[in-house]
Structure 1
Amino acid sequence: MRVIGVGDNVVDKYMYKRIMYPGGNALNFSVYAKQLGVEAAYLGVFGDDKAANHIIHTLNDLEIDISHCRQHSGENGFAAVDLVDGDRVFIGGNDGGVQNSHPIILTQEDLNYIQTFELAHSSIYSGMEGELHKLKETGIRVSFDFSTDYNESVLNEVCPHVDISLLSCGQLQTNEIKDLLTLVCSLGSSMAIGTMGSRGAMVFNGTNFFEQKPHYVKPVDTLGAGDSFFTAFILEYLKGKKIKVNEDQLIKQSLEAGAKFAAQTCLVDGAFGFGIEF
């Protein structure tokens, strides 16, 4: 199996300890897939500062293919993280850095390359809503992380071009989550996944709802928990589809795989470690 993250990368700058860690939804997906034993690649936009160089070196060390990435002069994307009443919270950033002035425009060469993978994963922070139809037209599966930044307009634009939609729903009640996931599938996605923080996750496959409780651990850092949950879930699901596992059983075992891996991620600083001083 081969998968690719297409879109955002950042460094998460932990202001209270002056350490920065590689991250970003699309990049995290690629790294977690590699950790789970799957061949993974990443396509995104780097700056040329210390943060960008650290991310590039990290991905090279992890043997993740970045041969189709772009690099431009300027500041790499970063998010600032601080400690507020004992919880790590995002307090700002630079809105993607050079990715803003040099957004990803997928060329035919890119698409020929992407077509060699089984799934491409992107996110709302990648600035790629207008490019998703190109991914869909390659014929491979496309997944997309909306995080909490979704509304009806965004869902209407994106869902027709996305097979698997991931949404952060910790702020919603159970009935609201079910309504949201139903809407997402009605707009074109074949599967919708809502992560609910400490309440776990919910999946709707267009027919049935499935729920998963989290694996409880004493977390070191919850950053990346949602990304790692989704990565383990979708890889388990894709593997099961190959051998024609019963759909309901497959979703249940994929949810369990996601919960297990997310718990492991919570025991690591940053999304997946590799911190350096800044």
Structure 2
Amino acid sequence: MLKVIGIGDNVVDKYEHTQTMYPGGNALNFAVYANRLGAEAAFLGAFGTDAEAKHVQSSIKEIGLDVSRSKVYEGENGCARVTLVDGDRVFLGSNRCGVLREYGLNLTEEDYSYIRTFDLVHTGLYGFAEEELLRIKTLGVPIGFDFSSDFTQEQVNQIAPRIDFAYYSCSHLKLDDTLNLMKKSIGLGCKLVICTLGEKGALLFDGEKFYMQEPKLVKAVDTMGAGDSFITSFIIEYMSRNKKGIGGKETVIKESLKIASEFSSSQCLVDGSFGFGKIYGTI
């Protein structure tokens, strides 16, 4: 069984049009989706001490994730304000990850020893873990990093040499710019690059060949977590097959992309990132 960990952000997404909040955040989403896909998954992040944090923690406990190394700081948990327009999630604002941004991860030697036991680390631009990447890389554990959509070229130049798998949201970019970004990331040391393209699907580049994955279109209830679920499903399937020695390189990539597309489509039928909605004021 693959053993993976999401390091960084957790939030509550507050849906203002329904006054309902859902747990989420890139690193936490990764861990939850990996758990649902059969991996042994953990989350290491920072929780606040407010009602929002308690809701996220109770949801995680019910799911069964290991969060034993996570921090708790006095203050606000990460929180984002959201609405839906024809099923597409639209962000209205946030507290920029709350206590995680304010206090950081502050990883200890015990934390690094713990991280060393995993097969894969996942973090991202909102995980505030960039300063930890060099140390994590020395542990010999592969690292996947989600740059989201609002990355800068400076961040790509700084982070890509420290990671193994780069993920970008590129529906806002021209195709040539997307392809150049993928080539650049490989040139900086990444082994695989995935660019999600919204309703156009996804592109993958392994340094030798580009792979296109068409989306499995559904009438979306909520697109929150669609990209996170695609990336998680792909990398879990890809690494699991490689660990077991199943199939050749191209076959593994193509089959993993197909499975990821199906999982991501199913995610679009779920409220929030992974459910667990709660009306404001009742917690």
TM-score under structure 1 normalisation? 0.98
Q: What residue is the counterpart of 1:259 in the other structure?
A: 261
Measure how far apart 1:105 and its partner are. Answer: 2.2
Q: What residue is the counterpart of 1:132 in the other structure?
A: 133
Instruction: Return the alpha-carbon distance in structure 2 between the equivalents of residues 46 and 89 of structure 1.
Output: 24
Instruction: Return the alpha-carbon distance in structure 1 between the equivalents of residues 251 and 258 of structure 2.
Output: 11
Which structure 1 residue ranges, 4+ long, deviate > 6 Å from structure 2? none
3-state SS, counterpart of residue 91 of structure 2:
strand
Aligned 1:36-115 pairs, distance under 5 A: 36-84=37-85, 87-115=88-116
Confirm or deny: 8 A CA contact 2:171 2:197 kept in the other structure.
Answer: yes
Query: Deviation per CA, 1:65-124, whole angstroms, max 9, x where unpaired?
Result: 000000011010011002457743001010111112210122111111011110010010
3-state SS, counterpart of residue 6 of structure 1:
strand
Aligned 1:115-126 pairs, distance under 5 A: 115-126=116-127
Q: What residue is the counterpart of 2:204 in the other structure?
A: 203
Query: Deviation per CA, 1:235-255, whole angstroms, max 9, x where unpaired?
Result: 110011123321111110110
Are 1:236 and 2:231 an aligned pair?
Answer: no
Aligned residues: 278
With 14-23 and 101-110 compared, the bigger mean Cα shift is at: 101-110
Q: Which AA in structure 1 matches 2:3? A: R
Confirm or deny: 8 A CA contact 1:45 1:69 kept in the other structure.
Answer: yes
Instruction: Return the alpha-carbon distance in structure 2 between the equivalents of residues 164 and 151 of structure 1.
Output: 17
TM-score under structure 2 normalisation? 0.96
With 1-10 and 174-183 compared, the bigger mean Cα shift is at: 174-183
Q: What residue is the counterpart of 2:4 in the other structure?
A: 3
Q: What residue is the counterpart of 1:177 in the other structure?
A: 178
Measure how far apart 1:152 and its partner are. Answer: 1.4
Against the structure 1 CA distance between its residues 139 and 203, is the aligned structure 2 distance closer, same or farther, given a 3 Å change threshold? same
Tell me the C-alpha RMSD between the 2 structures: 1.1
Confirm or deny: 8 A CA contact 1:106 1:134 kept in the other structure.
Answer: no
Q: Which AA in structure 2 matches 1:274? A: F
Confirm or deny: 8 A CA contact 1:4 1:40 kept in the other structure.
Answer: yes
Confirm or deny: 8 A CA contact 1:194 1:202 kept in the other structure.
Answer: yes
Q: What residue is the counterpart of 1:273 in the other structure?
A: 275
Identity of aligned residues (%): 46
Instruction: Return the alpha-carbon distance in structure 1 between the equivalents of residues 241 and 159 of structure 2.
Output: 26
Measure how far apart 1:134 and its partner are. Answer: 1.4
Q: Which runs of 5+ in 2 are unaligned?
A: none
Q: What residue is the counterpart of 1:13 in the other structure?
A: 14
Instruction: Return the alpha-carbon distance in structure 2 between the equivalents of residues 51 and 6 of structure 1.
Output: 19
Confirm or deny: 8 A CA contact 2:88 2:224 kept in the other structure.
Answer: no
Instruction: Return the alpha-carbon distance in structure 2 between the equivalents of residues 54 and 85 of structure 1.
Output: 27
Confirm or deny: 8 A CA contact 1:232 1:258 kept in the other structure.
Answer: yes
Q: Which AA in structure 2 matches 1:43? A: L
